[in-house]
């Protein structure tokens, strides 16, 4: 076994002369169930997605502060 990098992988693929199929059409709208399509998945509710990301950042920051405080209290005991 040997540790590999992306560079090594690309060189190995080039050495094998593999040709990959190219997809030119768009896969959307994608249907995972009958009458359930993902056509607006990436563009819908952009404001909600932004608010969720902002909330997750705040939650992560508060969890880090809480953990630092708990660890600091345990270190002084």
Domains of the chain, by residue range, sit at 22-76
Residue predicted with more confidence, 28 or 21 = 21
Q: Residues 6, 14: contact at Cβ < 8 Å?
A: no
d(CA 32, CA 38): 8
Half-sphere exposure of 3 (CA within 13 A, CB side): 0
What is the longest distance spanned by two Cα atoms in the chain?
64
pLDDT of residue 73: 84
Neighbours of 38 (CB within 10 A): 13
pLDDT in tens, 40-74: 656 667 778 788 889 999 999 999 999 998 888 87
pTM: 0.40
């Amino acid at each position: 076994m040997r540790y590999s990098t992306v560079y090594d992988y690309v060189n190995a693929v080039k050495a094998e002369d593999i040709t990959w199929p190219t997809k030119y059409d768009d896969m959307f709208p994608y249907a995972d169930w009958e009458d359930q399509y993902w056509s607006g998945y990436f563009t819908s509710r952009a404001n909600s997605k932004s608010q969720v990301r902002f909330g997750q950042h705040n939650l992560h920051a508060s969890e880090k502060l809480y953990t630092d405080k708990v660890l600091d209290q345990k270190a002084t005991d």
